[in-house]
Chain A
């Protein structure tokens, strides 16, 4: 039973346009959400996070939106660049379990130039 779901295995976007990656979760105890980016042959690297007390967090070209009632979050990348092409993992944790992250299956983003 996957508690964190990324239903789109892949996404292809033109350079300069917006990339929107989606993530759904089922565990209502999750209160902290993170996005990781992974290039081939490298470990995942942290991108951006959001606490459940917020509904938006922005860092440069990256914005994460959280809709707690829908148990849904999304990552927006504007403008998309070819270097953004990677696998993006959504992850979540519950405060009582600290940094025990539960990951989604990932979405492969391809940004075409």
Chain B
């Protein structure tokens, strides 16, 4: 099983809503990532979890709140978002976040639209 599964695939929310994006992997990876990708732009790193601890926060606004309940799951809680937060949110995982160079395994992404 080499899959990273993201749900939902599409999400439309208002600026006052609270929603969550979910990511799951069963490859035994201990590093998990959230990336944000806007149209015609590269994926931009938001957060890295290493061994279920937040190791990198790329100065992301607090309206995005990550959570790693266990080594297989990664959530991104969304609250009071702005229309400019509309983007494709990609989850990725790899064996660990440092010491070994390797590829990230990406999910298909969650397409978020904020009205």
**A interface, CB within 8 angstroms of B:** 2, 4, 9, 31-32, 34, 36, 41-46, 49, 51, 89, 93, 95-106
Contacts and interface: CB of A to CB of B under 8 A. Distances in A.
A64 B60 CA distance: 33
Contact of A51 (B42, B44, B101, B105): B101
Nearest to B31: A99
B102 A44 contact: no
B109 interface: yes
A44 B48 contact: no
A90 to B, nearest CB: 9
Q: What does DSSP make chain B's interface, helix, strand, loop or mixed?
A: loop
A31 B6 CA distance: 30
A100 B99 contact: no
Contacts, number: 67
A32 B48 CA distance: 18
24 contacts: A2-B42, A4-B42, A36-B103, A43-B107, A49-B101, A49-B103, A51-B101, A98-B97, A98-B100, A98-B101, A99-B94, A99-B96, A99-B97, A99-B98, A99-B100, A100-B45, A100-B56, A100-B97, A101-B45, A102-B42, A103-B42, A103-B44, A105-B40, A105-B41
A100 B43 contact: no
Contacts of A43: 4, 6, 90, 92, 106-109
A70 B33 CA distance: 30
A77 B23 CA distance: 32
B80 interface: no
Contacts of A102: 42, 45
Contacts of A34: 103
Given A43-B4, A43-B6, A46-B104, 17 more contacts: A2-B42, A31-B101, A43-B109, A45-B106, A49-B101, A51-B101, A93-B101, A95-B101, A97-B98, A98-B101, A99-B100, A99-B101, A100-B45, A101-B45, A102-B45, A105-B40, A105-B42
